[in-house]
Amino acid sequence: MRQGRSRHSDTPSLKTDHYELTMLQAALASGVAHRRAVFELFTRRLPSGRRYGVVAGIGRALEAVADFRFDDAQIAFLRENAVVDTPTLDYLAAYRFTGSIHTYREGELFFPQSPIVTVEGTFGEAVLLETLLLSILNHDSAVASAASRMVTAAAGASIIEMGSRRTGDEAAVVAARATYVAGFGATSNLEAGYRYGIPTTGTAAHAFTLAHDSEPEAFAAQVASLGAGTTLLVDTYDIPTGIRNAVAAGGTSLGGIRIDSGDLYVETTRARALLDELGATSTKIVVSSDLDEYVIDDLVSQGAPIDGYGIGTRVVTGSGAPTASMVYKLVEIEGPDGQMRPVAKKSADKASVGGFKDATRVLDAHGVAVAELAVPRAAGTATNHPAGTTTRDLQVTYVRDGKIADLPTLDEVRAHHRAALAELPPSALDVVAGTPYLTARS
């Protein structure tokens, strides 16, 4: 076993499972690796109680595909560990994805059986992408799906992502991106700000207050350094006293206070009254403390005077659903006669539908989504929609012949997510548990 400092790959090609390469070796030996193939990434079911999912990670995934290649060091590692034979190593050394990839737009909604990603290429080049695509899209979509529900529950109040200390270091960065896709306004993670241009924010923790000889001294120091527009954490000791000390330090133009403990409805109601009494009528109230969509929804329904939420653990872990349960399945393969034929699993509870599919969402006269169709191309395009309905194509070809098209900006992705959500009726946006609003059907 290697000792000392770890080493890191310069490309994402080893972020895969061992069996992908051994499967490739066998396919090269049988000749199947060079047959044209179509793979589809989808989910059979949503997490219990969820009515929709949110596609996130498409931009990251496509960039990873563009960088997917095996350098000399990686080939040496595979050879030294006898992972695959020499012909397979030669194939990997020359690997470049040359096929096409069609995906739902990032920020789009998905449902059971939605063909979220369709990969066309040879069996060999497409099968190698399975683990990479699933690891990115399962994680990012799980986080975005939870974040979207939280944004809806917050009813217009601002939300900050602050879960870096509750997940892995790299997971924290990409989780911040996924929450931004779904409508969060900022993150505490500076790497996410640097890498993706997401707004960052933050002020001070309880340790800052505890490090000073008194709370008034700590607040005075923070205001002196960060200005009266800062947000002061007022629950280190006693909340009412903390609020009085905060206003004394920042004046009636104090930017905000944050409460991180207690009964948040009771504490924020009292805080608003006290702030108004002290003349700090414009000072905002921000809350944190293990929040999720259910807690937020309850606070909003009670009329809690909260201007913003800081959410950590629950959002970066998918609010109880840390994966979107997506799978990557072969749906078409070239036969010995050169013709493409659909293939599908028949396993109990894991059956799939064969064939390359075109996906559309059906909207009624009011622009409300009423169906999603995923029609195998061999069956032709379905046209028997109810009178008065229209359709919207869901798939975009971002990769053709191995070349990646320009990807949308994160702001464009956020706008698309808002538009997609607007197609759902209010009942489908309720955080109360329910069945999937739609299921893609052929």
Residue that finishes a domain, picked among 306, 334, 367: 306
Output the CA–CA distances (angstroms, integers) from residue 379 to 117, 127, 202, 342, 357, in the order listed: 20, 25, 54, 11, 9
Question: At a CB cut-off of 8 Å and minimum separation 6, what does 165 contact?
Answer: 172, 312
Both 333 and 422 in one domain: the answer is yes
Q: Give the pLDDT score at 313.
A: 98
Both 124 and 230 in one domain: the answer is no
HSE-CB at 310 with a 13 A cutoff on CA atoms is 24
The total of other beta-carbon atoms located within 10 Å of residue 210's CB is 11
pTM for this one?
Answer: 0.96
Provide the domain limits for residue 238: 203-306
Question: Under the phi-then-psi rule, with left for phi > 0, alpha for psi from -120 to 50, and beta for the rest, what region is 48?
Answer: beta
User: Does residue 258 belong to any structural domain of this protein?
Assistant: yes
User: Does residue 113 belong to any structural domain of this protein?
Assistant: yes
User: Does residue 34 belong to any structural domain of this protein?
Assistant: yes
Q: Give the pLDDT score at 150.
A: 98
Q: Which H or E run contains 187?
A: strand 186-187
Per 3-state DSSP, what percentage of the chain is helix, strand, and coil (rounded to 5)?
Answer: 40, 20, 40
Low-confidence ranges of the chain (pLDDT < 50): none
Per DSSP, the three-state class of 275 is helix
CATH number of the domain at 215, please: 3.20.20.70
User: Does residue 38 belong to any structural domain of this protein?
Assistant: yes
Q: Give the pLDDT score at 381.
A: 54
Both 298 and 348 in one domain: the answer is no
- DSSP string computed for 99-144: SEEEEEPTT-EE-TT---EEEEEEHHHHHTTHHHHHHHHHHHHHHH
Both 285 and 348 in one domain: the answer is no
Please write the tens of the pLDDT for every residue from 217-227: 999 999 999 99
Both 280 and 347 in one domain: the answer is no
From the centroid of its chain, how far is CA 13? 21
The total of other beta-carbon atoms located within 10 Å of residue 143's CB is 33
Both tokens assigned to 319? 């609010």
Both 21 and 117 in one domain: the answer is yes
Residue whose structure tokens are 């698309």: 416
Both 32 and 64 in one domain: the answer is yes
CATH number of the domain at 28, please: 3.20.140.10
Both 343 and 260 in one domain: the answer is no
Both 302 and 329 in one domain: the answer is no
DSSP, res 72: H
User: Does residue 174 belong to any structural domain of this protein?
Assistant: no
Q: Give the pLDDT score at 380.
A: 63
Q: Give the pLDDT score at 235.
A: 98
Residue that finishes a domain, picked among 275, 306, 337: 306
Both 280 and 339 in one domain: the answer is no
User: Does residue 361 belong to any structural domain of this protein?
Assistant: no
Both 23 and 124 in one domain: the answer is yes
Both 256 and 342 in one domain: the answer is no
User: Does residue 50 belong to any structural domain of this protein?
Assistant: yes
Please write the tens of the pLDDT for every residue from 79-94: 999 999 999 999 999 9
User: Does residue 247 belong to any structural domain of this protein?
Assistant: yes
Tally the domains of the chain: 2
Please write the tens of the pLDDT for every residue from 113-159: 999 999 999 999 999 999 999 999 999 999 999 999 999 999 999 99
Q: Give the pLDDT score at 337.
A: 95
Please write the tens of the pLDDT for every residue from 36-94: 999 999 999 999 999 999 999 999 999 999 999 999 999 999 999 999 999 999 999 99
